Structure 1
Amino acid sequence: MKAARTEFESQFERARVEFEEANERLNARSGRNLIMATLIGLAIGAVVLGSLLFWKWAFIAFAVPLCLMGAFEFARALQAAGRRIDLTAQFAAGAAMLGAAFVGYLTHWFVIFAAVVLVVVWRLVAQMAAGDGRKYGDVVNDVLAGALIQLYVVFHGSLALVLLRQDHGELWLLAVLIIAVSVDTGAYASGVAIGRHPMAPRISPNKTWEGFAGAVVASLVAGGLLGVLMLQIPLWAGLALGVAVLVSATVGDLGESLIKRDLGIKDMSSFLPGHGGVLDRLDSILPSLVPGLALYILLNPLSALS
């Protein structure tokens, strides 16, 4: 029994060492802690599925803080790069824009305009009050950076709430989220397994054409299945949704990579271990809400749910 126990401990230790070595190689290639990223991803997925499938209004308690956290991360990253961002104005404008998503389309657009104006005017007044002789070009960059936070993060996030309040909008929102995650997962798995040819080496060296091919397959499969089985729309409409989200998710992913490269950072923050920051996980989802809402308006009349 002692010999068997010693042999078991030896085998267990050998397996542990081999697992850690394999995990380190995978982490080095993927650039993230895969196990931690998977656990956190599953936890977030459970919250999203539970809220959207059982009581869609519970999703608000998850989406609003997440969106504001993404705006905060972006603001802090810009501040670290030398931009002057007014957090009070950003949070006030962001909260107003997210709240207006439940009122109506016209009011929502008016509040979007007012939110951007608030951020711009606040920065100009704060700069005049400072009177520190900041260069004209730097002030313009500060103003544009502050407006970008509202338009890139909060505006796109508010579209999720606009879609949520529609009839069966929670199902369309869930479909967009699943397809966007499928695009990321397909690109990641294919890129790690067979990625050889860089897609945009100056923007994101880890992205490959093989990864993009995996994203294409994942988006078409997810779009087709979700369209037919969950949204109850024709197969071609589900495939169209998959292609639209594929394009927007890829553009969003590359766009945020370009922003981070310009700022000289790898992640927006370290708030989510294995993922980076909140905005690092929303980079492909936020732009995908635009075609998601547009295709809901166009294709929902074809659904058997209507």
Structure 2
Amino acid sequence: MTDASGDLPDSPPPPLTRREAAGARRGAAAPDLNADFQAHVRAARSEFENQVAQKRAEFEEANERIKQRTGRDLIVATLIGLAIGAVLIASLIFLKWLFVLFALGAAILGIFEFSRALIGSGRKVDLVPQLVVGSVLVLSGFFLGLWLHWVVVFVAIALVIVWRLIAQMFARDGRTYGAVLGDVLIAGFIQLYVPFLTSLCLILLRQDGGEWWVLAFIIIAVASDTGAYAAGLSFGKHPMAPKISPKKTWEGFAGAVLAALIAGVLLSLFMLGLPWWPGLILGAIVVGTATAGDLGESMIKRDLGIKDMSSWLPGHGGVLDRLDSILPSVVAALALYYLFSPLAA
């Protein structure tokens, strides 16, 4: 005897509701939509990567052209400049003694690379006395009074000169009188060029509101450098001093003047608390001293037969290659501080 239900035919499935039918259609369409979306994402990512690669290639090509024209790596130079600028600004605004250490370190490195370049050209330079005496001279600008500072200046120059003469007496290397005289003059010049000018910066720093003046003249000098670089790179055609620095142009100098004047006025109004016209004077004088310092160091390097004082700062050269426009500008900034600071609001 069999079950009667086994002989019945299979019953048809119950009809789907509207919601179940819609869900079934979405389920069928989901794989297609997902595949389309993934294909779209892959295409967009591929296009983005191609555009990034193209822009990177264009930037590297432009950077290579700039490097061939100026001899500097723009990317590395910019990154190092920003890092140094950040340390400089932070030290001036928050901790004066940190800027003193910053200035002392820069002066020591400057003395070292300048002395090494001179030694490489055949000059006799007493490196250790130069470094020790120079360090004392730099610190005297911040810790000693003006009268004692000038005493230290004369003593420092006398010490390095006497040291060189005594060392030459014991050397007995048959050096000519002219060569010895040149060595003596260079010994004194190193102290005047690097540590003495750095000490004037620290004298300005210790004045009331002096940190803002230090920051202002450095910004103007950097703005002058940047303006000259940008204008010379874009429009430079007429050499300014081809026998000293062939890559400097009058168009670049015009850009330096414009940038320095604008920076001077803005800093005078918004940072130094002065009227606009002292800013014009400050900008004009600083661009003059910065340009003179830049050309002066270029002349020294040409005489020594070198391109840069060192390679410690990639994209910039040496420490002195960055200080060449700043050091001479210290004198102008200190003089203008005494002249214009009474006008501050």
Please say whether Structure 1 and Structure 2 have the same fold, judged by a TM-score greater than 0.5: yes
Q: Which residue of 2 aligns with 1:125?
A: 166
Structure 1: segments with no counterpart, 5+ residues: none
User: How many Å apart are 1:105 and its aligned residue?
Assistant: 0.9
User: How far, CA to CA, are the matches of 1:287 and 1:257 in structure 2?
Assistant: 14
Q: Which residue, 213, 220, 232 being the options, matches 2:261? A: 220
Which residue in the other structure is 2:148 paired with?
107
Check the 8 A contact 2:137/2:199 in 1, yes or no.
Answer: yes
Match in the other structure for 2:335: 294
DSSP-derived class of the 2:315 partner: coil
Runs of 4+ in 1 over 6 A off after TM superposition: none
> Counterpart of 2:247 in 1: which secondary structure?
strand
Alpha-carbon distance in structure 2 between the residues aligned to 1:15 and 1:166: 49
Residue 127 of structure 2 corresponds to residue 87 of structure 1: yes
What is the deviation of 1:100? 1.4
Q: Report the number of matched residues.
A: 304
| 1:30 pairs with one of 70, 77, 95 | 70
Letter in 2 for 1:92: V
Taking the TM superposition and a 5 Å limit, the aligned residue runs for 1:258-297 are 258-297=299-338
Measured after TM superposition, the shift of residue 21 of structure 1 is 1.5
- Give the equivalent residue in structure 2 for 1:135: 176
The one-letter code sitting in structure 2 at the alignment partner of 1:298 is L
- Provide, for residues 232-284 of structure 1, a one-character-per-residue CA deviation record: whole Å limited to 9, x for no partner: 11211111111110111010000000000000100000000000000000000
Displacement of 1:4: 6.1
The answer on 1:51 being equivalent to 2:91 is yes
Q: Which has the larger radius of gyration?
A: 2
Distance, in Å, in 2 between the alignment partners of 1:290 and 1:141 is: 26
**d(CA) in 2 for partners of 1:94, 1:115:** 7
Structure 1 counterpart of 2:117: 77
Cα displacement (A) at 1:7: 5.3
CA distance in 2, matches of 1:36, 1:92: 32
Alpha-carbon spacing, 1:130–1:169, altered in 2? closer, same or farther (3 Å): same
Residue 187 (structure 2) aligned to one of 136, 146, 169: 146
- Matched residues in 2 for 1:134 and 1:73: separation? 24
Residue identity matched to 1:81: S
Deviation of the 1:42 alpha carbon: 0.4
Distance 2:140 2:54 in 1: 58
Which residue of the partner structure matches residue 67 of structure 1? 107
Report the Cα offset of residue 3 of structure 1.
6.2
Identity of aligned residues (%): 62
The offset of 1:8, in angstroms, is 5.1
Q: 1: distance between equivalents of 2:256 and 2:71?
A: 18
- Indicate which of 214, 231, 248 corresponds to 1:173: 214
AA of the residue aligned to 1:199: M
Q: Residues 195-234 of structure 1, C-alpha deviation per residue, up to 9 Å, x if partnerless? A: 0100000000010000000011111111111111111112
Task: Return the letter of the residue paired with 1:144.
Answer: L
- On the 8 A contact 2:107/2:198 being kept in 1, the answer is yes
How many angstroms apart in 2 are the aligned matches of 1:9 and 1:71?
Answer: 48
List gaps (5 residues or longer) in structure 2. 1-38
Pair 1:84–1:233, CA change in 2 (3 A): same
Q: Deviations over 1:283-306 (max 9, x none)?
A: 0000000010011111111111xx
**Residue equivalent to 2:27:** none
- 1:81-104 deviation digits (Å, cap 9, x = unpaired): 000100111012101211211211
Q: 2:291 is matched with which residue: 250, 260, 268?
A: 250
RCO greater where, 1 or 2, for CA within 8 Å and sep 6 or more? 1
1:89 counterpart SS class: helix
Partner of residue 19, structure 2: none
How much does 1:56 deviate?
Answer: 2.2
Letter in 1 for 2:89: L
- State whether residues 104 and 139 of structure 2, in contact with CA within 8 Å, keep that contact through their aligned partners in structure 1: no
Does residue 256 of structure 2 align to residue 239 of structure 1? no
**Among candidates 182, 192, 195, match of residue 223 of structure 2:** 182
Residue identity opposite 2:224 in structure 1 = V
- Which among 36, 61, 72 is matched to residue 21 of structure 1? 61
Partners of 1:293 and 1:213 in 2: CA distance: 25
